Structure 1
Amino acid sequence: MKSAFKLGLLYMYGAFGMARTEQKIAVYEGMISLAARLARLLVCTAQVEGQTMAYFDNQRADQPVVLFVHGFTGDKENWLMVAPKLTRDYRVIAVDLLGHGASDKPLGGDYAVTAQARRLGVLLNQLGIVQPVHVVGNSMGGLIAGYFAALFPEMTQTVTFIDSAGMPVHNAFSEQVRVDMMAGRCALVAEKIEDLDRLEALVSYKKVRAPRFLREALIARKIPNRAVYFNVLKAITNEDFDDFREPLVDVLPKITAPVLILWGKEDCIVSVDAVDVMLQYVHAQKVVVYEQVGHVPMIEAPHETARDLKAFFENNL
């Protein structure tokens, strides 16, 4: 199966390497659809507070639930390398937050952290999920997961922070974001396909192995959403863009569920120094720092991430 999958990638790389952007996007979406099917995930939608939210779901109603929450400009597809290792034993739900992925993207939407966390609770209620869930968030998704755990303690079995945003830890990147936002730009929002290499260097420590035309298609899909992404960032940061309107430290002490912290040691977006600050506000059952990994361990180190998630979940059933 893996060999055939790789051969298919090589064939498409030769066939589509010089194709138009629309063709590249079509191939990318086909690959994502195949990956989701191999992970036993269905693409579903629900109406939440009058807006359409898309999500992956393997619909295993008899199993404990894992809720995956992506980061800024990300989507449910960020979890496709981890999900296959969990779908046999868990009901896996990976959402597209409002303003992202295949969910609605209203320019005037409420993209505040609390609003996004509340929508997750509404979605779970609509799906008839009554048992507490294992909520896992990366970057902005970690910030939202923290607010979810604080708002809905009765719905939270565990909470996992993966390179979470929302901490008062500043570095060269956060200062650059502040300067860029004041000028109407953002380092994490692509303006053109040529931004691919710069964005990959920011997010990942390890070189991305996927064919370039697929990675370009990913960027091309996001470019039309630039205005919405800016509104999301404005909603979660203060007027000077130097801190968060709803910081993670405000809710960490309120979290009663067991906590796991996973971090990439080479993260240049949210420094690993944030872990020590988090531990001043919350007791973590376990902390894992991955060597030679950047901001997205679930993509750069999916086997290790899935292993540590499974062990944590099994200890907290």
Structure 2
Amino acid sequence: MTLRRLLKTVALVAAVLLCALLLWLWREPYRVVLGDYTRQRLVAGLGRNAAQVDDHRWVYAYNDEAPANAPTVVMVHGFTGGKENWYLLAQRLRGRYRVFVPDLPGWGESERKRGADYGFVAQNDRVARFIEQVARKPGSPVVLLGHSMGGGIAALTAARHPRDVDRVALFNSAGVRFKDNVFGREVLEGKNPFAVSDAASLKHYLGILFYDERAKPVIPWPADDIYIERRKREAAFEQSVLDKIGRGDERFLPGDEAVRIGQPALLLWCRQDAVIDASALELFAVRLPQAQRVLLDGCGHMSVMEQPDAVAEAVDQLIAKGTPR
């Protein structure tokens, strides 16, 4: 084969592959976003797996390269979030601990069932089952971390399933009646302050979550438009979850039941949190007198992304020095 014919063949194959890729993305554009999530996961040194736990299929990131009997750290994300929110922290903890970072049922890549309950109570039972079936290893204590909505879920899991949780950390956690702010008032009025329907609302959403501009994720075109379309399709589901955890009978259940948590605990907030006001830290502290308390400055609701080094240090302290009630 001459060089010219070889180059033509290579060009033809490349064109066919490019067309196949474009068709694949046209059928499901959100794969562009998922592709970047994959990049972030690989940078964090995490693998990806899936497991059927009872009636839901879970997708999770993980790293099991830790010394024998090292603690197992399970991370539970917040409302509209996903496992990707934890990657910066997971990167800092892997190697010393076993790390499991799932998408909660109903969110991200994990399964959602029409008409299923995704409130605090239902999800805490699911998290306990995930720990039992997927994450737990004999001789390895379980450290459960929860952020925002995930903090409320983690509090209930620690209170109701104490044999599954040896230590618990609540970061910017939902579940108590914190000091009034714009976010809280809008939720009570029936709105979704996190709703995304266009470029302006996406900017507003990120502005509520992040205080540190340097930590705010950049979503370039075309990923921004693809993400916006996805969130528009999620609007009804998001409202149904808020009806449970923000306006319904369950909204203060994590705080009410936190008094039953006897395990070593950590409470961590950011002073500039515009979602769950930092007053919530002391409200949880009254219920968890054994808890270490950390109030960070210069960050908003996304403490785990804005100050992952400080959060990792606090988790290390919880594991090394935490004391039970």
Give your verdict on TM over 0.5: yes
Aligned twin of 1:79: 86
- Give the secondary-structure state (helix, strand or coil) at the position aligned to 1:37: helix
Equivalent position SS for 2:121: helix
Residue matched to 1:166: 175
Indicate whether 1:59 and 2:68 are aligned.
Answer: no
Aligned 8 A contact 2:46 2:61 in 1 = yes
Q: Which moves more between the two structures, 191-200 or 271-280? A: 191-200
For the structure 1 residues 103 and 193, does the alpha-carbon distance in structure 2 shift closer, same or farther, using more than 3 Å as the test? farther
Counterpart of 2:77, as a letter, is H
Query: Following the alignment from structure 2 to structure 1, what is the Cα–Cα distance between the partners of residues 290 and 302?
Result: 20
Q: 1:36 aligns with which of 24, 37, 41?
A: 41
Q: Within 2, Cα distance between the matches of 1:270 and 1:103? A: 26
Q: What is the CA distance between 1:109 and its match in structure 2?
A: 1.0
Task: Measure how far apart 1:192 and its partner are.
Answer: 2.9
Which of 164, 169, 175 aligns to 2:185? It is: 175
Cα distance in structure 2, aligned partners of 1:262 and 1:244:
22
Code of the residue aligned with 1:162 in structure 2: it is: F
Partner of 1:276: 282
Task: Determine the C-alpha separation between the residues in 1 that align with 2:183 and 2:218.
Answer: 27
Between 42-51 and 125-134, the greater mean CA deviation after superposition: 125-134
Deviation, 1:22, is 8.7
Contact 2:76 2:102 in 1 (8 A): yes
- Picking from 104, 107, 127, the partner of 2:111 is 104
CA-CA distance at 1:186 after TM superposition? 1.0
**CA distance 1:128–1:80, shift in 2 (3 Å):** closer
Q: Provide the secondary structure at the position in 2 that maps to 1:54.
A: strand
Instruction: Supply the distance in 1 between the matched residues of 2:255 and 2:135 (Cα, whole angstroms).
Output: 31
TM-score normalized with structure 1 length:
0.84
Shift of 1:219: 4.3
CA drift of 1:206 comes to 1.3
Of 82, 88, 91, which aligns to 2:95? 88
Q: 2:82, 2:104 within 8 Å by CA — same for their partners in 1?
A: yes
Give the equivalent residue in structure 2 for 1:293.
299
Instruction: Verify the 8 A CA contact 2:194 2:205 in the aligned structure 1.
Output: yes
Q: Contact 1:107–1:228 at 8 Å: present in 2 too?
A: no
In 2: Cα distance, 1:223 partner to 1:234 partner? 18
CA contact (8 A) 2:210 2:216 kept: no
Contact 1:114-1:147 at 8 Å conserved across structures: yes
Q: How far apart, CA to CA, are the structure 2 residues paired with 1:155 and 1:206?
A: 35
Say whether the 8 Å CA contact 1:137–1:143 is kept in structure 2.
yes
Of 246, 253, 256, the residue aligned with 2:259 is 253
Between stretches 251-260 and 167-176, larger displacement belongs to: 167-176
The aligned residue for residue 76 of structure 2 is 69
Larger Rg: 2
**Contact 2:206–2:216, Cα closer than 8 Å, also in 1:** no
Mapped pair 1:136 → 2:142: no
Specify whether residues 312 and 103 from structure 1 end up closer, same or farther in structure 2 by C-alpha distance, changes over 3 A only: same
- Is the alpha carbon distance of 1:205 and 1:23 closer, same or farther for their aligned partners in structure 2, counting shifts above 3 Å? farther
Structure 1, unaligned runs of 5 or more: 1-19
Q: Is the 8 A contact 1:99 1:232 kept in 2?
A: no
Residue identity (%)? 28
- Label 1:162 to 1:209 Cα distance change in 2 as closer, same or farther (>3 A): closer
Structure 1 residues 192 and 21 mapped into 2: Cα distance closer, same or farther (>3 Å)? farther
In structure 2, relative to structure 1, the CA distance for the partners of 1:194 and 1:88 (3 Å cut) is same
Contact 1:105–1:228 (CA under 8 A) maintained in structure 2: no
Question: 1:8-61 CA deviation, whole Å, 9 max, x = no partner?
Answer: xxxxxxxxxxxx999984443222212212322112111122111111111347
CA contact (8 A) 2:202 2:228 kept: yes
Q: 106-115 or 93-102, which moves further after superposition?
A: 106-115
Give the superposed CA RMSD.
2.4
Equivalent residue, structure 2, for 1:15: none
- 2-side partners of 1:250 and 1:201: how far apart? 30
Larger mean CA deviation between 219-228 and 132-141 belongs to 219-228
